[in-house]
Chain A
Amino acid sequence: MKKTFFLLLVCLLLIGLVPFVQAQDVIELDMYFPVSVGGGPDALITALCDEFHQEYPNIKVNPVYAGSYADTRTKVLAAIQAGNTPAIALMFSIDLYQLYSMDVLYDYDSFATDKAGQKWLNGFYDGFMQNSRLNEKTYGIPWQRSTIIMYYNKDMFREAGLDPEMPPTTWAELKDYAQKLTVKDAAGNTTRYGVQVPSDKAGYAYWMLQTFTLTQDGFNIMSPDGTEVFFNDPRTIKGLEFWKSLSDDGCQAPGTPKWSTTVSDFLEQKVAIMYHTTGNLTNVRKNAKFDFGTSRLPADTSYGSPTGGGNFYLFKGVPEEETKAAYTFIQWMTNNPERVAQWSIDTGYVATRPEAYETQRMIDYANDFPSALTARDQLEFAHAEFSVYDQGAVQDILDTAIEAAMTGTKTPEKAMQDAQIAADAILVDYR
């Protein structure tokens, strides 16, 4: 016994001494990318990179899946600080100010000087360019972009005597319907909640808060230049209070329901309505064992939703041929309407260019599955996702404040006022 065990240890030692060899003959680019929605886009990205390599044999893009958007930011920042700046990365669109303040980004305008290049740059939905442009220059190319939409369980609507083709369109209706959809057992325990808008920090609490401010005449919680936040504005507080009231009135789970389990809660039919990213549409469609619908978000005084998702960035400080190769790749990925359409069909992300919706495959798909158009139709009411300088720190403050309000350790008003002070202390350096 002892001998076998020792042998095992020795084997471990030997494996430990195996050297690593890798050959390089083409331009290889490591591209960090995040996936924060289900449905497996990581395999799709890999397939696209392979396809690109077939067309351009001298360029090879290695997608490096780095976890969530926050993890990807962490990894890229760490790589830059360690002097291993990548040529390209697919990152959160809202990392723009932070990356800009570090002076590590190339703008695309200086590369896309010819007519075709300009046409490419100007061909994206304006809603998505709000988080991609700064000082009239383009620093991010939209790729896996989304908005938040409402998913609802039509079977439950029928069961509760609601019209499955008439989802709630106002906050008041939302709460009213949600209460009708909530189910309790004989002991008075809730076995099904009417609505779930996830509010945990591990997810995207700040993003969900935006759904309740942008539906008040498009009020956004930060200034377009990324140096001011409006957490203590009465409209922000009102939005948060309404969100919290869904829990207080018993039609949403108390505390901070998790972003990561919200979709399975919906698929397991433990909630009737959820707010979630369009990036999950294909996933929900594949896995729902019931009839579901999607719609734009209910309004207070207007429709509205934040955009979200990831952009391609080009980084300074790498050999020129790598930048060129990365640029070629980004254009290849985002310029072809067919490819953009297919990506949208495969994932549920919104196709980033209007012309993608004119492709035959997209028209066919939308005929078969009208929900695919919900997010696009909502784009006219879409606004920039929360994005400021020192994003990591400020976002953490806001997320924490939302958690404090939702768990009842602070009132919404107090939480937002404290968050305002903390955020100002950081942002003052950038004004």
Chain B
Amino acid sequence: MKTKTASSRRWKLSPPMLVVYVVMFLTAIVFLIPLVWMVRTAFIPSEHTTNLLAIDWPTLDNFTRVWQAAPWSTYYINTFIIVGGVLAMQFFTVVLAGYAFARLDFHLKNTLFILFLLQIMIAADVLILPNYKTISALGLSNTLLGAMLPFFASAMGTFLIRQTIKTIPYELEEAAKIDGCSLPRLLLQIYVPLLVPALIAHGTIAASYQWNNFLWNLIVINSVANRPLTVGLAIFAMSYETGAQWSDVSAATFLVAAPLLTLFFVFQKRFVHSFAHSGIK
């Protein structure tokens, strides 16, 4: 606390602002408590789980036990496939649609634009029942494709690409056209390189969305072989319905949350930038 006050003084803070600063720092610490609690419980020997004050060397025992109790590697692979598949398809659909909205003048443009808006408000997550029926009718229930398909288009991504393209000087496109550049080449060679930051921004959001997606996957996926991490975690946590063995549940939670969190801690600025970028209007 002492150092904080000292550094605060350097910013020439009025007393009320000082209070605000202290409060905000405390908020940050409070925000971290759940993470610390989860990590602590995951690594502490399980006999100390419910003893708040216990201090012991961290152990990997909980992880060993948890790793053997469920096919986590399968879950990881499935989540990777879902995230990767959705990203690949979204990049494709979003660049095409974003270009059309940004550069082309066409009939029903406003109508179609509103249809895209609709997807933002009424996300596939809300339409679980009819979409499940559709996926079943297509014979895609209990497949990874079924889990991914509704997310192959993204209105958010389309809007982001559209805006970004609008900031690219049109002269660039005209010059390329004069050189006889076809549309696919134009997109791939002129636009896509310039869209990389926007695609990374969108990719970050879409990837974390898919990584965390639960209810839809719970409904669509039945078999262990196709189960992604979030569903695996939920079902694992339920398997201790009577035991509520918190050391194991925390270790499993850590397994599921760690990859994204680690990426975030390493690429912190990028992440923040990406999320912020996606919202710029």
Q: What residues of chain A have their CB less than 8 Å away from a CB belonging to chain B?
A: 1-2, 4-6, 8-9, 12-18, 20, 30, 32, 35-40, 42-43, 62, 64-68, 71, 75, 78-79, 81-84, 203, 259-264, 268, 276-277, 279-280, 283, 287
Min CB–CB distance A12 → chain B (angstroms): 4
In the complex, what residue of chain B is closest to A14 when comparing beta carbons?
B84
Q: What residues of chain B have their CB less than 8 Å away from a CB belonging to chain A?
A: 50, 69, 77, 80-88, 132, 136, 141-142, 144, 196-197, 200, 203, 207, 219, 222-224, 234-235, 238-246, 263, 267, 269-270
Could you say which residues of chain B place their CB within 8 Å of the CB of A260?
Answer: 240-242, 244
Could you say which residues of chain B place their CB within 8 Å of the CB of A4?
Answer: 267
| A67 close to B244 (CB less than 8 A) | no
Query: A62–B207 Cα gap in the complex (Å)?
Result: 31
In the complex, what residue of chain A is closest to B221 when comparing beta carbons?
A75
Contact A5 to B244, CB < 8 A, known contacts A17-B85, A30-B223? no
Min CB–CB distance B274 → chain A (angstroms): 9
- Of the A-B pairs whose beta carbons lie under 8 Å apart in the complex, a sample of 15, sorted by A's number, is A6-B196, A13-B84, A15-B84, A17-B84, A35-B239, A38-B240, A66-B222, A68-B238, A79-B142, A79-B222, A83-B136, A84-B222, A260-B241, A264-B245, A280-B242
Query: A32–B50 Cα gap in the complex (Å)?
Result: 33
Which of B86, B243, B269 is the most central at the interface, judged by chain A CB atoms within 10 Å of its CB?
Answer: B243
Contact A263 to B84, CB < 8 A, known contacts A5-B200, A67-B238, A84-B142? no
Min CB–CB distance B94 → chain A (angstroms): 14
Min CB–CB distance A361 → chain B (angstroms): 25
| B200 close to A263 (CB less than 8 A) | no
| A12 close to B242 (CB less than 8 A) | no
Could you say which residues of chain A place their CB within 8 Å of the CB of B267?
Answer: 1, 4-5
Could you say which residues of chain A place their CB within 8 Å of the CB of B203?
Answer: 9
Query: A274–B207 Cα gap in the complex (Å)?
Result: 45
| A64 close to B222 (CB less than 8 A) | yes
In the complex, what residue of chain A is closest to B273 when comparing beta carbons?
A2
Query: A283–B234 Cα gap in the complex (Å)?
Result: 21
Query: A32–B223 Cα gap in the complex (Å)?
Result: 9
In the complex, what residue of chain B is closest to A63 when comparing beta carbons?
B224
| B223 close to A15 (CB less than 8 A) | no
Could you say which residues of chain A place their CB within 8 Å of the CB of B136?
Answer: 81-83
Query: A36–B80 Cα gap in the complex (Å)?
Result: 29
Query: A1–B197 Cα gap in the complex (Å)?
Result: 12
Query: A16–B84 Cα gap in the complex (Å)?
Result: 4
Query: A393–B200 Cα gap in the complex (Å)?
Result: 46
In the complex, what residue of chain B is closest to A42 when comparing beta carbons?
B239
The residue that B223 contacts in the complex, of A16, A38, A64, A268, with Cβ under 8 A, is: A64
Could you say which residues of chain B place their CB within 8 Å of the CB of A6?
Answer: 196, 200
Knowing that A9-B207, A38-B245 are A-B contacts, what are 19 other residue pairs whose CB atoms are under 8 Å apart, sorted by A's residue number? Answer: A2-B196, A5-B267, A5-B270, A12-B84, A14-B84, A15-B80, A16-B85, A17-B84, A37-B242, A38-B241, A40-B69, A42-B69, A42-B239, A43-B69, A62-B224, A79-B222, A262-B242, A264-B50, A264-B245
| A65 close to B243 (CB less than 8 A) | no
Query: A71–B86 Cα gap in the complex (Å)?
Result: 27
Which of B85, B87, B222 is the most central at the interface, judged by chain A CB atoms within 10 Å of its CB?
Answer: B222
In the complex, what residue of chain A is closest to B211 when comparing beta carbons?
A12
Could you say which residues of chain B place their CB within 8 Å of the CB of A5?
Answer: 200, 267, 270
Min CB–CB distance A223 → chain B (angstroms): 30
Contact A259 to B80, CB < 8 A, known contacts A9-B203, A64-B223, A81-B136? no
Query: A220–B87 Cα gap in the complex (Å)?
Result: 55
Could you say which residues of chain B place their CB within 8 Å of the CB of A35?
Answer: 239, 241
Min CB–CB distance B209 → chain A (angstroms): 13
| A12 close to B80 (CB less than 8 A) | yes
Query: A82–B87 Cα gap in the complex (Å)?
Result: 28
Min CB–CB distance B87 → chain A (angstroms): 6
Query: A201–B83 Cα gap in the complex (Å)?
Result: 34
| A15 close to B81 (CB less than 8 A) | yes
| A64 close to B224 (CB less than 8 A) | yes
| B242 close to A16 (CB less than 8 A) | no
The residue that A82 contacts in the complex, of B81, B82, B141, B196, with Cβ under 8 A, is: B141
Contact A78 to B222, CB < 8 A, known contacts A12-B207, A39-B243, A263-B244? yes
Min CB–CB distance A151 → chain B (angstroms): 11
| B222 close to A17 (CB less than 8 A) | no
| B69 close to A12 (CB less than 8 A) | no
Could you say which residues of chain A place their CB within 8 Å of the CB of B222?
Answer: 32, 64, 66, 75, 78-79, 84
In the complex, what residue of chain B is closest to A76 when comparing beta carbons?
B222
| A283 close to B224 (CB less than 8 A) | no
| A12 close to B87 (CB less than 8 A) | yes
Could you say which residues of chain B place their CB within 8 Å of the CB of A30?
Answer: 223
The residue that B270 contacts in the complex, of A2, A15, A36, A262, with Cβ under 8 A, is: A2
Min CB–CB distance A58 → chain B (angstroms): 21
| A67 close to B142 (CB less than 8 A) | no
Could you say which residues of chain A place their CB within 8 Å of the CB of B246?
Answer: 264
Could you say which residues of chain B place their CB within 8 Å of the CB of A71?
Answer: 235, 238
Could you say which residues of chain B place their CB within 8 Å of the CB of A262?
Answer: 242
Could you say which residues of chain A place their CB within 8 Å of the CB of B197?
Answer: 2
Min CB–CB distance A233 → chain B (angstroms): 30
The residue that A36 contacts in the complex, of B85, B144, B196, B241, with Cβ under 8 A, is: B241
In the complex, what residue of chain B is closest to A198 when comparing beta carbons?
B242
